[in-house]
Amino acid sequence: MGSGKSSRKSGASASLTVRLDADSKAALTQAAELRKISLSDYVRTVTVPQAKREVAEASQNTIALSPDEQLSFWNALSQQPALTPAQRNLGAVMRGEA
């Protein structure tokens, strides 16, 4: 999982390069300006805590969903899926209709 370099001291900084489309970079830049911090500081303060939460949730086999994600998940579970022709045929065979 790591880079294999065990000589790196805890707390030492490392760089990360991320490619973004122009709209994404503009949104991040604007958010950083609103907080009056650098873009790098914004990315660190938002993404690192989120990544730590996701790792902790994964270790507990839980997933946290935002309210919008919860609604989307519920709607997906509530909708009856459209059956494929093969599934319809299988149902007919299982009911003894084919």
Give the pLDDT confidence score for residue 58 in this predicted structure: 87
pTM tops 0.75: no
Q: Mean pLDDT of all residues in the chain?
A: 88
Total domains, the chain: 2
d(Cα 38, Cα 18) in Å, to the nearest integer?
16
Residue 56 and residue 40 in one domain: yes
What burial letters (b/e) apply to 57-77, b meaning 16+ CB within 10 Å?
A: eeeeeeeeeeeeeeeeeeeee
Residue 44 and residue 72 in one domain: no
Q: Once rounded to an integer, what is the mean pLDDT over residues 5-32?
A: 84
What range does the domain containing 44 cover? 20-64
Give the pLDDT confidence score for residue 1 in this predicted structure: 47
Does 11 reside within a domain? no
Does 13 reside within a domain? no
Residue 58 and residue 73 in one domain: no
Inter-residue contact 35 to 42 (CB < 8 Å): yes
pLDDT of 60 > 80? The answer is: yes
